[in-house]
């Protein structure tokens, strides 16, 4: 089966339409996708009006690495971090070693590497520019009904989101970028996640999380007229943020043992979708629209009002967000057999308008809460992209 690149092969590889470039020719034979050179040589741009890694078709592997700015660091030094990251990211994403790279061979075959830089709420005080902080850039309010947040997974002044279709590329990029900034930015936490390996499911179906659910179905798409408006700032709040976005990252533990104690029907009712196709309980195919008004023969709603999708679905377009989740499966604590969950990531122009009301509803009532526990939380501004020769965040300092 041959697929055409450009809304075709690269998108199908990763789950939805993307702009990845596979080799020079315009088609790829699925039988050869397992060939690491085909996947490895694909690149995503670093420079541009917008940063890559937001609407980029999700790569298979991700690292989210947060840093705090060391007390006493100067604005010039912090600008130096953003400049160094941008210079190295521009090279690494195109398959070249970083500027001070002792293992440049590890940068070959970048496998659609993207490096996305974020600024946390504390960044602006640290550089003495509190007036330039977007109004919405604050940590989320506490959700005491559900939160069991741990400092080791939360907050941060700076973020690197590093994604690629190859875990070796992610590790190398994370090492290169993190090691060059010691003394100015100190690493606070690092979280790794994964989705289905590239090429394993060329059907275009959405990936699954570790509960077995198809996760990521209802998402804005690039062909919708308000796609840009949902994701990107128009600069009205902060002019320098025009073309920038926001990331909410929640680390959510999924308690597999208790999830597996309930029967399949109950598991499907908790989300409002079937486990096999991911269709809403009122439909047959994954992308069928959910009918929240439908009732069964005894008059009960087919999709329970306390199900995850009934609670999470947008009440108006201002609540639309782009979810780009990664699974995690880390070494278990002593006596446990698993330590799994979701690195829930969502992008939007304004999290106060978009994210908080949805999260509030879910905190108040969501059948999934029985098996999910938020243990980490962070919010970052994702500045606009860097022009050729420039660096991410430079508009802030102009």
- The verdict on 252 binding ligand HEM (CB under 6 A) reads yes
Q: Which candidate, 133, 130, 127, 150, places its Cα nearest to that of 70?
A: 127
Nearer to ligand HEM, 185 or 368 (CB): 368
Minimum Å gap between C-beta 143 and ligand HEM is: 10
Q: Which stretch binds ligand HEM (CB under 6 A): 48-56, 84-92, 173-181, 246-254?
A: 246-254
Residue 245 · residue 376 · CB < 8 Å:
no
Minimum Å gap between C-beta 345 and ligand HEM is: 10
- The verdict on 216 binding ligand HEM (CB under 6 A) reads yes
- The verdict on 83 binding ligand HEM (CB under 6 A) reads no
- Cβ within 8 Å of residue 309, ≥6 positions away: 218, 271, 272, 273, 280, 290, 303
Task: Find residue 346's DSSP bridge partners.
Answer: 248, 323
Long-range CB pairs of 21-24, under 8 A, 24+ apart, other chains included: none
- The verdict on 205 binding ligand HEM (CB under 6 A) reads no
Minimum Å gap between C-beta 45 and ligand HEM is: 27
Among 56, 372, 377, 395, binds ligand HEM (CB under 6 A): 372
Among 132, 133, 250, 267, binds ligand HEM (CB under 6 A): 250
Residue 147 · residue 377 · CB < 8 Å:
yes
Residue 246: HSE in the Cβ half-sphere, 13 Å Cα cutoff: 30
- Of residues 138-177, which lie at the interface with ligand HEM (CB under 6 A)? none
Q: Give the separation between CA 381 and CA 66, rounded to whole angstroms.
A: 13
Q: What is the DSSP string of 174-188?
A: HHHHHHTTTTTEEEE
- Of residues 274-303, which lie at the interface with ligand HEM (CB under 6 A)? 290
- The verdict on 309 binding ligand HEM (CB under 6 A) reads yes
- The verdict on 344 binding ligand HEM (CB under 6 A) reads yes
Residue 280 · residue 289 · CB < 8 Å:
yes
Q: Which candidate, 268, 165, 290, 291, places its Cα nearest to that of 217?
A: 290
Among 359, 367, 393, 396, binds ligand HEM (CB under 6 A): 359
- The verdict on 192 binding ligand HEM (CB under 6 A) reads no
Could you tell me the two tokens for 319? Answer: 């609540």
Residue 251: HSE in the Cβ half-sphere, 13 Å Cα cutoff: 25
Q: Which of 101, 157, 215, 366 is catalytic?
A: 215
Q: Which stretch binds ligand HEM (CB under 6 A): 45-53, 153-161, 175-183, 354-362?
A: 354-362
Q: Give the separation between CA 19 and CA 15, rounded to whole angstroms.
A: 12
Among 81, 113, 185, 358, binds ligand HEM (CB under 6 A): 358
Q: Which stretch binds ligand HEM (CB under 6 A): 36-44, 96-104, 230-238, 355-363?
A: 355-363
- The verdict on 215 binding ligand HEM (CB under 6 A) reads yes
Q: Which stretch binds ligand HEM (CB under 6 A): 58-66, 144-152, 235-243, 358-366?
A: 358-366
Long-range CB pairs of 16-19, under 8 A, 24+ apart, other chains included: 16/57, 16/58, 16/204, 16/206, 16/219, 16/221, 17/57, 17/221, 17/222, 18/56, 18/57, 19/44, 19/56, 19/57
- The verdict on 350 binding ligand HEM (CB under 6 A) reads no
C-alpha Rg value of the chain to the nearest Å:
21
- The verdict on 273 binding ligand HEM (CB under 6 A) reads yes
- The verdict on 211 binding ligand HEM (CB under 6 A) reads yes
Please name the helix (run of DSSP H) or strand (run of DSSP E) that holds residue 89, with its range, or none.
helix 75-92
Tokens 């973020």: give the residue.
159
Clarify whether 215 is annotated catalytic.
yes
Size of the site for ligand HEM (CB under 6 A): 25
Minimum Å gap between C-beta 378 and ligand HEM is: 13
Residues near ligand HEM (CB under 6 A) are 209, 211, 213-218, 250, 252, 254, 271, 273, 290, 308-309, 312-313, 342, 344, 358-359, 362, 368, 372
Q: Report, as residue numbers or ranges, the catalytic residues.
A: 215
């Amino acid at each position: 089966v041959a697929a055409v690149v450009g809304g075709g092969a690269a998108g199908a590889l990763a789950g939805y339409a993307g702009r990845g470039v596979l080799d020079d020719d315009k088609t790829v034979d699925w039988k050869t996708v397992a060939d690491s050179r085909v996947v490895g040589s694909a690149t995503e741009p670093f420079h541009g009006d917008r940063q890559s890694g937001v609407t980029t078709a999700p790569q298979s592997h991700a690292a989210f690495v947060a840093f705090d700015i060391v007390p006493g660091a100067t604005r010039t030094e912090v600008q130096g971090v953003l400049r160094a990251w941008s210079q190295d990211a521009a090279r690494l994403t195109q398959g070249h070693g970083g500027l001070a790279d002792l293992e440049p061979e590890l940068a070959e075959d970048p496998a659609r590497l993207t490096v996305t830089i974020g600024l946390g709420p504390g960044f602006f005080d640290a550089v003495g520019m509190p007036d330039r902080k977007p109004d919405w850039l604050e940590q989320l309010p506490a959700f005491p009904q559900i939160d069991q947040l741990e400092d080791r997974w939360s907050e941060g002044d700076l973020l690197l989101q590093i994604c690629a279709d190859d875990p070796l590329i992610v590790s190398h990029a994370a090492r290169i970028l993190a090691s060059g900034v010691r003394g100015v930015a100190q690493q606070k936490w690092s979280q790794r996640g994964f989705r289905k390996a590239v090429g394993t499911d060329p059907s275009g179906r959405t990936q699954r999380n570790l509960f077995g659910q198809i996760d990521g179905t209802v998402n804005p798409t690039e062909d919708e007229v308000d796609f840009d408006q949902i994701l990107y700032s128009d600069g009205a709040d902060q002019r320098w943020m025009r073309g920038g976005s926001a990331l909410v990252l929640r680390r959510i533990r999924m308690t597999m043992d208790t999830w597996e104690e309930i029967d399949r029907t109950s598991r499907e009712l908790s989300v409002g979708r079937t486990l096999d196709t991911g269709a809403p309980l009122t439909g047959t195919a994954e992308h069928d629209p959910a009918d929240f008004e439908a009732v069964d023969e005894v008059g009960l709603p087919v999709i329970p009002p306390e199900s995850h999708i009934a609670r999470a679905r947008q009440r108006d377009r201002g609540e639309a967000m782009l979810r780009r989740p990664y699974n995690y499966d880390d070494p278990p604590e002593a006596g446990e057999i698993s330590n799994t969950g979701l690195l829930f990531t969502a992008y939007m122009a304004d999290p106060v308008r978009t994210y908080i009301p949805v999260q509030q509803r879910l905190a108040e009532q969501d059948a999934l809460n029985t098996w999910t526990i938020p243990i980490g939380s962070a919010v970052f501004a994702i500045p606009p992209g860097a022009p050729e020769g420039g660096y991410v965040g430079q508009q802030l300092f102009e």
